Structure 1
Amino acid sequence: MAAAEPKRVRGRKRPAPLSPDRLEILVTAAKKSLEDDKAEDIKVLDVTGRASYADRIIIATGLADRQIQAMATHLQETLAKEGMKLKRDAIQASSEWVLIDCGDMVIHLFKPEARETFRLEKMWGDDSPKAESGSGYEPV
């Protein structure tokens, strides 16, 4: 039986899913990178089975543009050391928010005001449908 083809996401082929162990290694590395860069209020959301585009969402706050840009750069370097090379279009940035699409893991870096506006924790946390735990960290 042939392996399933990766899903297409907005006109591009989605990479094959990561193994649960590999995903946890990448989540841990990303979280450590954010902690090293003094990101605030880091949350890891397990959205397995609830989001079609990812199994983990990481949300963190930076206080200044330079801090958020440094966090994004260091995340890219950290993930590359772990063997994950991001495509050029994997990073989307605005003045208030940086989104890094790592396939099964999506990272959002917000300024405080934008984080409060978008409230992703409320959308994907415990109050949302089918919140699950069991992955070494508590779902939000």
Structure 2
Amino acid sequence: MTLDSGRAPVSSPLQASVGADLAADLLDAVLSSLEDSKAEDLVTLDIAGKSSLADHMVIVSGRSHRHVGAIADHLLRDLKTAGAGTATVEGQSTCDWVLIDAGDVIIHIFRPEVRGFYNLEKMWAPETDEAPQYIG
């Protein structure tokens, strides 16, 4: 971090590049785990310019409560193995919608009916006619 005449810290280009590489590596680990778990209807959104919460949002579906829970468990184990074991988890007790905050990547795992109701793809997608929309 560098200071610009007493104002808030500003990231140097080198730090921004390293952060982007780490986020990309984390995203690759998440996507690989979700594919191994047979997660369905995978959508990845780049939200770096829309929110300071994370750089990427991943939205997937599981076929049932049990499948959603299994996807979440598998992903949490893989994140821990990848060195990102401090992920925060919400919703794992009911497994209708599990939210995993892994820092630079936020993962939403839904049952199809719940995913269709909230339709996060439409809310977070770029404002174009081709914005993804979950219909399932």
Q: What TM-score does the superposition give when structure 2 sets the normalisation length? A: 0.77
Does the 8 A contact of 2:69 with 2:95 survive in 1? no
Aligned-residue offset at 1:95: 3.8
Unaligned runs of 5+ residues in structure 1 are 5-16, 129-138
List structure 1 segments (4+ residues) > 2 angstroms apart after TM superposition.
Answer: 1-4
Note the C-alpha offset of 1:119.
0.6
Helix, strand or coil: the match of 1:68?
helix
**Contact 2:54 2:106 (C-alpha < 8 Å) held by counterparts:** yes
Aligned residue in 2 for 1:51: 51
Q: 1:37-84 deviations in whole A, cap 9, x for unaligned?
A: 111011110001201211100000001111111111111111111111
Q: By how many angstroms is 1:106 displaced?
A: 0.5
Contact 1:59 1:108 in 2 (8 A): yes
Greater RCO, 1 or 2 (C-alpha within 8 Å, sep 6+): 1
2:105 — aligned with what? 105
Q: Deviations over 1:80-101 (max 9, x none)?
A: 11111125xx100144100001
Matches within 5 A, 1:15-34: 19-34=19-34
Contact 1:76/1:86 (<8 A) preserved = no
| Cα distance, 1:127 vs structure 2 | 2.2
Matched residue, 1:14: none
Q: Percent identity?
A: 39
In structure 2, C-alpha distance between the alignment counterparts of 1:103 and 1:70, rounded to whole Å: 21
Corresponding letter in the other structure for 2:20: P
What is the root-mean-square deviation of aligned Cα atoms in Å?
A: 2.2
> Which of the two has higher C-alpha Rg?
2
Once residues 52 and 43 of structure 1 are traced to their aligned partners in structure 2, the CA distance between those partners, rounded to angstroms, is 20
Does the Cα contact within 8 Å between 1:39 and 1:60 map onto a contact in 2? yes
